[in-house]
Chain A
C-alpha cells in the first residue's frame, strides 16, 4: 500500500455562520491525484486551506506524512516536509521578480534549481527577470501555479501539492503543461489535492471527490518526473526575504521613513530649542523613531496584497519582516533628531531610538496580524489599540531625561 501523505480525520470547519464541513474524512496517498469538485460553496477551498493550516478546526485532525499539522485543540505545527500550495489568490507581490519569488519557494524546501526550463515550459522564460506586477493576470497565475508545483518538482521524496482552481486564467498551452506536470509528478510518487471544475483537470484525477463521495479513475502510466532540486540550506530566510522586499519596493522609506521625517519637520517648525526643557527636547528626538514604528511593518503591509501573508503563514511560522533594518533606521532617525534639537549626537538617545523603532514595529505588527482571519481585516480599526504604546514611550523619554 502506498504511503499516506495526507490524512483528514472527522473534520468540522466553520466559515461565516455556516458549518462548511462536517465529519469529513480523506486519505491521500503517494501517487494520488484527488480532484475536489462540486457546487460553489460546497467547501473545496475550505479543505485545501485547512490542509495548509490556514483555518482553525472545530473538530478533527489533519496530518501530513503522519505528523500532526493542525487539530481542533488549537495545535498548529509546521509541516516536517515542504508542500506545494497555490491559493485561489495568487499570493504574489507585484514588486518581486518571477525568479526571486520562485527562488524563495525553492529556499523554503532548502533547495535550489535552474528555473529557466520550467519557466519556458509555461511560456515565461523571457519574463524571468520581470516584476510580477508587470505581468498579465494569466501570466501571474502561471507563476502562482509553478510556485505550487515547485516543492514536488525539486524533491525525489514524495511531496504534497495543494492547488486551488489552478486552471483559472491559464491559456491552452499552460494548461497542457500543467496537466503533463501533474501526471509526471504523480508517477514520481507525489500526491495532489486539487479543487477544480475544469474537465481536463478532472480527467487527470485518480480520484474524483465531490465532498460527499468519491469515484476512482485509473490513469495511464506516463514517464516519471526527474527531481531537479539541489540541496542548499540558507538560514534566516524570512529575514532575508523581508529585506529583499524592502529593497525592491522602498516601502520602508516611503511609509515609515517619510512619516518620521514629517514628524521631525513639524516639531522643528514649532520648537525653539533654547527655551525648552530637557524632557521635552528628548521627547522630540525620540518622537521620529516612535512615529516610524507606529506606521507598522512595511513588509506586512506589502504582503497583504493577494493573500501573500496567508501563503507565508502556511509555510513558515515566522513571516518576512523589517526586523533587521528597523533598529538601524531608528538609530539614524534619533541621531538626526539629536543633531536638530540638541545640536549634538547623543549615543544614548540613538540606541534608545533604535530600540523604540524596533519594539514599536513588533508590537504594531502583532496587533495588526491578530485580525488577519477577519473577512475584512483592513476595515477593522485595529489601530485604535496602538495608543497604549505611548505610555512606555513616555516613560522611556522621562527616564532618558534623568540620565
Chain B
C-alpha cells in the first residue's frame, strides 16, 4: 500500500491524537469558568468535546447534502459515496454531540433534554436523520430507488442545519447562545479556552475527513463486490 492510499489512516491517526490532546488540555490545562456564571462549572469542560463534535457534525451534514445533490441531480456514483460517508460521520459526530450535551444539561439544567428547546430538537432530528439513513441503507437492496429516496432525505434534511444554527438567536430557551461569531462581546472567550477549542475543532475535522475517506473506500469496495457477485449469478 503506497503513501497515497494511507492518507485516510494518517488522517484518522492524527485526528485521534488531536482529540485525545484536546480532552487532556480541556480537562487539565484550560482555566475554569466563573462559579457565578454556571450552576455546574466543572461540567462546562465537556464543552471542549461538545462544540468540536457539533462543528464536525455540521461538516458531515454538509458532505451529506453535497453527496445527495450530486447523486440526485447528476447520478454521480461519487455523490452516493459522499452521501453514505456524510451520513455515517454525521451519525457518529451527532451522537457524540447529543450525548455530551445531555451530560452537560443534566449537570447544568437538572435535565438532560428539553423537548421545548428548538436547537436541541433540530440537532436531535439531524442525528436521527443520519441514523435513519445509515440503518435504512442497510435494510434496502442497493438501487436507484434506494439512492433517490435517501438522497431526497439528505437534501431536505439539510434545511435543519441553518435552522439549528439560528435557533439560539431566535428562540433561545435553554441552549446557550453562540460563543464564537456571536456578533457582540457576549461570547468572548479567554485565549487559552479558544486555543483548546481550536485544537479540538481541527482534530475533529481531520478525524472525520479520514473517517469519510475510509467510508467512501468501503462503499466503493462493496459496490465492486456486488458487481462481482452479480457477474457470478449471470446477471448484468
CA distance A381 to B115 in the complex (A): 21
List residues of chain A with CB within 8 A of the CB of B148.
Answer: 56, 373
Identify B152's interface contact among A17, A58, A370, A382, CB under 8 A.
A370
CA distance A385 to B136 in the complex (A): 12
Identify B144's interface contact among A17, A387, A391, CB under 8 A.
A17
Rounded to whole Å, the gap between the CB of A400 and the closest CB of chain B is: 13
By beta carbon, the residue of chain B nearest A383 is B132
CA distance A373 to B148 in the complex (A): 9
Rounded to whole Å, the gap between the CB of B150 and the closest CB of chain A is: 9
Once the chains bind, are B143 and A376 in contact (CB under 8 Å)? no
List residues of chain A with CB within 8 A of the CB of B142.
Answer: 16-17
List residues of chain B with CB within 8 A of the CB of A393.
Answer: 115
CA distance A376 to B143 in the complex (A): 12
List residues of chain A with CB within 8 A of the CB of B75.
Answer: 58
Once the chains bind, are B145 and A374 in contact (CB under 8 Å)? yes
Q: A382-B132, A384-B131 are in contact. Are A15 and B115 (CB under 8 A)?
A: no
Q: A16-B145, A381-B135, A384-B132 are in contact. Are A376 and B140 (CB under 8 A)?
A: yes
A380 is an interface residue with CB less than 8 A from chain B: yes
CA distance A277 to B153 in the complex (A): 39
Q: A18-B236, A381-B132, A385-B132 are in contact. Are A376 and B139 (CB under 8 A)?
A: yes
Once the chains bind, are B144 and A390 in contact (CB under 8 Å)? no
Rounded to whole Å, the gap between the CB of B75 and the closest CB of chain A is: 8
List residues of chain B with CB within 8 A of the CB of A384.
Answer: 128-129, 131-132, 135
Identify which of residues 133-160 in chain B touch chain A, using a CB-to-CB cut-off of 8 Å.
135-136, 139-146, 148-149, 152-153
Identify which of residues 377-403 in chain A touch chain B, using a CB-to-CB cut-off of 8 Å.
379-382, 384-385, 387-388, 390-391, 393-395, 398
B125 is an interface residue with CB less than 8 A from chain A: yes
Identify which of residues 107-136 in chain B touch chain A, using a CB-to-CB cut-off of 8 Å.
115-116, 118, 121-122, 124-125, 128-129, 131-132, 135-136
List residues of chain A with CB within 8 A of the CB of B128.
Answer: 384-385, 387-388
Once the chains bind, are A398 and B116 in contact (CB under 8 Å)? yes
Rounded to whole Å, the gap between the CB of A307 and the closest CB of chain B is: 14
List residues of chain A with CB within 8 A of the CB of B226.
Answer: 17
Number of residues of chain A lying within 8 A (CB) of chain B: 27
Rounded to whole Å, the gap between the CB of A103 and the closest CB of chain B is: 33
Rounded to whole Å, the gap between the CB of B172 and the closest CB of chain A is: 14
Once the chains bind, are A370 and B144 in contact (CB under 8 Å)? no
A375 is an interface residue with CB less than 8 A from chain B: yes
Identify A375's interface contact among B122, B124, B129, B145, CB under 8 A.
B145
List residues of chain A with CB within 8 A of the CB of B135.
Answer: 380-381, 384
Identify B143's interface contact among A15, A56, A387, A394, CB under 8 A.
A15
CA distance A387 to B122 in the complex (A): 10
Once the chains bind, are B146 and A374 in contact (CB under 8 Å)? yes
List residues of chain A with CB within 8 A of the CB of B118.
Answer: 391
A197 is an interface residue with CB less than 8 A from chain B: no
Once the chains bind, are B149 and A371 in contact (CB under 8 Å)? yes
A14 is an interface residue with CB less than 8 A from chain B: yes
Once the chains bind, are B139 and A373 in contact (CB under 8 Å)? no
Identify B140's interface contact among A56, A58, A379, A394, CB under 8 A.
A379
Rounded to whole Å, the gap between the CB of B73 and the closest CB of chain A is: 11
Once the chains bind, are A388 and B144 in contact (CB under 8 Å)? no
Once the chains bind, are A375 and B132 in contact (CB under 8 Å)? no
CA distance A16 to B144 in the complex (A): 5
Rounded to whole Å, the gap between the CB of A173 and the closest CB of chain B is: 39
Q: A375-B146, A394-B115 are in contact. Are A387 and B125 (CB under 8 A)?
A: yes
Once the chains bind, are B141 and A16 in contact (CB under 8 Å)? yes
Q: A388-B121, A394-B116 are in contact. Are A380 and B145 (CB under 8 A)?
A: no
List residues of chain B with CB within 8 A of the CB of A394.
Answer: 115-116
Contact string against A for B residues 8-28, beta-carbon threshold 8 Å, 1 for contact and 0 otherwise: 000000000000000000000
By beta carbon, the residue of chain B nearest A56 is B148
Rounded to whole Å, the gap between the CB of A401 and the closest CB of chain B is: 12
Once the chains bind, are A15 and B139 in contact (CB under 8 Å)? no
Rounded to whole Å, the gap between the CB of B68 and the closest CB of chain A is: 14
Once the chains bind, are A390 and B121 in contact (CB under 8 Å)? yes
List residues of chain A with CB within 8 A of the CB of B125.
Answer: 385, 387-388
CA distance A381 to B124 in the complex (A): 16
List residues of chain A with CB within 8 A of the CB of B152.
Answer: 370
By beta carbon, the residue of chain B nearest A393 is B115
CA distance A14 to B75 in the complex (A): 11
CA distance A312 to B132 in the complex (A): 27
Contact string against B for A residues 257-288, beta-carbon threshold 8 Å, 1 for contact and 0 otherwise: 00000000000000000000000000000000
Once the chains bind, are A380 and B144 in contact (CB under 8 Å)? no
By beta carbon, the residue of chain B nearest A398 is B116
CA distance A370 to B148 in the complex (A): 11
Q: A14-B144, A370-B149, A371-B136 are in contact. List 19 more A-B contacts (CB 8 A).
A: A15-B144, A16-B142, A18-B236, A373-B148, A373-B149, A375-B140, A375-B146, A376-B139, A379-B139, A379-B140, A380-B139, A381-B131, A381-B132, A382-B136, A384-B128, A384-B131, A388-B125, A391-B115, A391-B121
Closest 8 CB pairs of A and B: A16-B143, A379-B139, A394-B115, A391-B121, A14-B144, A384-B132, A388-B125, A380-B136
